[in-house]
Amino acid sequence: MPDVLEVLEPATEAVLEELPRAGEEEVDAAVARAAAAFPAWRAVSPSDRANVLRAISAAVTAHREELALLEARNAGKPIGDARGEMDMVAQVFAYYSGSPERLLGDTIPVSGGQAWTLREPLGVVGLIVPWNFPLTIAAWKMGPALAAGNTVVLKPAELTPLTALRFAQIAGEAGLPEGVLNVVVGPGSTCGARLVAHPGVAKIAFTGSTEVGRSIAAGAAQTIKRVTLELGGKSPNVVFADADLAAAAAAAPGAVFGNAGQDCCARSRILVQRPAIDEFMSALERAVTAIRVGDPLDEATEMGPLISAGQRATVGSFVDDGAPVAFRGAAPDGPGFWFAPTVLCPVEPDARAAREEIFGPVAVVIPFDDEEEAVRLANDTIYGLSGSIWSGDGARALRVARALDAGVLSINSNTSVRVSTPFGGFKQSGYGRELGPHALDAYTEVKSIFYATDPT
């Protein structure tokens, strides 16, 4: 009897699907399939590999509604958001379809001959991803990995494996050869750890918590595996008194309560300059109480449930009896892992809610006096993933952006992710970059070749 994994629907707590739960043997078999497929996949001509990636992009678009519905139900995210995520998956493959023919090297002047560099694929790469943006984050890794000629073993989070499994079928139908992409559904502690330890895996690309990231970096050291880590965050949203306060307040809820706050880029620390705090808080309250929380499949829904009962208990621990709750939005009763969007204010910078990643719909508001204090507070964290600066003074906004220790910043906007720009963290938010041209560096090795031309 195989071990059975029950996949739940967070909005109803009902079982959505039952799957066999993989263990270490299945990981070893998947690595063996990926290793067997590697020589032929790396030898596919660049233009043919580009065509396969383009076909995958088109196939995802053709299956957009089916994949979005599956993701919305399994991850509990609003259907409109899920459609947007599937569009991004298609864009990622379209973007990286341009890469096989553009993996350029250098020619380097040397004496006695010619020297040049090549970008070689690594081999079998292990991709370990979380449950908050299941297929999107997998695509950020699969796109450049496959474009560069690697083969892949993908381990989705146990809570949200369904779109990864369906994607693998769709990619196969679109022309991805057998064995190039292998999905293993099982626990991190066994399947994930085995991928990290496996001597046949050349690289691990991981997205998840900083805690698990630490153990992956340590485990990968045994085989000197390449590792890229996209980890947690506690991103600041810095609002100066000279900003368009109405715009900043209207945008702030989306930046922290999007995906029910289960977003590594969530601007969960809202830093507001003191003279603006009353006006900002009034506008923020109107925006937060207007958020429509409910059935992910209702087209009007803006926020769904949390992923699990465990996640709801963790998030709830930040809103205990003593928490300075300024205001809360609504949440449905009944089955489902619901949690009302919550704003805490004022919060001391050393309070637990201001320091730890909550990964749920809880924002803290911290007042500040001047630019110097804003920068100090914003940087006062082990994390450094993302952040926003709202100001009507362009020079100040640029000064602050330069001073913040974070990988992805936006000014008078809360956006973090674009397919064509690099994404990743400073400090304990990880290392390596995904998306944009930089992601390919993490899936290739540079090889230098010298050809002697001068008579010896």
Residues labelled catalytic:
230, 264
Count of positions on this chain that bind ligand NAD (CB under 6 A):
32
Nearer to ligand NAD, 121 or 192 (CB): 192
Does the footprint of ligand NAD cover residue 70 (CB under 6 A)?
Answer: no
Does the footprint of ligand NAD cover residue 209 (CB under 6 A)?
Answer: yes
Does the footprint of ligand NAD cover residue 72 (CB under 6 A)?
Answer: no
Cα separation, 411 vs 399, whole angstroms: 11
Of the candidates 157, 184, 145, 132, the residue with the CA atom closest to the CA atom of residue 56: 145
Of the candidates 362, 357, 374, the residue with the CA atom closest to the CA atom of residue 430: 357
Cα separation, 308 vs 71, whole angstroms: 15
Check: CB of residue 225 under 8 Å from CB of residue 201: yes
CB of 140 to ligand NAD, least distance (A): 8
Nearer to ligand NAD, 192 or 304 (CB): 192
Contact pick of 27, 67, 139, 157 for ligand NAD (by CB under 6 A): 157
CB of 86 to ligand NAD, least distance (A): 17
Does the footprint of ligand NAD cover residue 357 (CB under 6 A)?
Answer: yes
Contact pick of 45, 189, 222, 282 for ligand NAD (by CB under 6 A): 189
Nearer to ligand NAD, 27 or 60 (CB): 27
CB of 430 to ligand NAD, least distance (A): 6
Does the footprint of ligand NAD cover residue 215 (CB under 6 A)?
Answer: yes
Roughly what angle, to the nearest 10 degrees, separates helices 64-75 and 46-62? Answer: 70
Check: CB of residue 132 under 8 Å from CB of residue 307: yes
The phi, psi pair for 425, rounded to 5°, reads: -110, 160
Q: Which stretch binds ligand NAD (CB under 6 A): 6-14, 110-118, 154-162, 322-330?
A: 154-162
* 360 CA to centre of own chain: 15
Report the b/e string of 16-50 with b at 16+ CB within 10 A: eeebebbbbebbeebbebbbebbeebbebeeeebb
Contact pick of 90, 146, 216, 281 for ligand NAD (by CB under 6 A): 216
Contact pick of 196, 291, 435, 442 for ligand NAD (by CB under 6 A): 196
Site string for ligand NAD, 115-134 (x = CB under 6 A): -------------xxxxx--
Cα separation, 72 vs 134, whole angstroms: 10
Q: Which stretch binds ligand NAD (CB under 6 A): 80-88, 174-182, 186-194, 312-320?
A: 186-194
Tokens of 1: 């009897």
Nearer to ligand NAD, 52 or 385 (CB): 385
Nearer to ligand NAD, 100 or 258 (CB): 258
307 HSE (CA, 13 A, CB side)? 23
Q: Which stretch binds ligand NAD (CB under 6 A): 46-54, 116-124, 227-235, 289-297?
A: 227-235
Does the footprint of ligand NAD cover residue 337 (CB under 6 A)?
Answer: no
Which stretch of DSSP H or E encloses residue 72? helix 64-75
Does the footprint of ligand NAD cover residue 193 (CB under 6 A)?
Answer: yes
Contact pick of 73, 155, 267, 312 for ligand NAD (by CB under 6 A): 155
* 450 CA to centre of own chain: 39
Contacts of 436 (CB under 8 A, 6+ apart): 418, 419, 420, 421, 422, 423
Cα separation, 229 vs 415, whole angstroms: 21
Does the footprint of ligand NAD cover residue 233 (CB under 6 A)?
Answer: yes
Contact pick of 188, 253, 294, 432 for ligand NAD (by CB under 6 A): 188
CB of 131 to ligand NAD, least distance (A): 5
Q: Within 10 A of 441 (CB to CB), how many other CB atoms are there?
A: 16
Of the candidates 262, 323, 346, 249, the residue with the CA atom closest to the CA atom of residue 290: 249
Does the footprint of ligand NAD cover residue 192 (CB under 6 A)?
Answer: yes
Does the footprint of ligand NAD cover residue 385 (CB under 6 A)?
Answer: yes
Check: CB of residue 147 under 8 Å from CB of residue 96: yes
**Per CB under 6 A, which of residues 414..443 are in contact with ligand NAD?**
425, 429-430
Cα separation, 204 vs 220, whole angstroms: 8
Residues in the site for ligand NAD, rule: CB under 6 A?
128-132, 137, 155, 157-158, 187-189, 192-193, 196, 207-209, 212, 215-216, 230-233, 264, 357, 359, 385, 425, 429-430
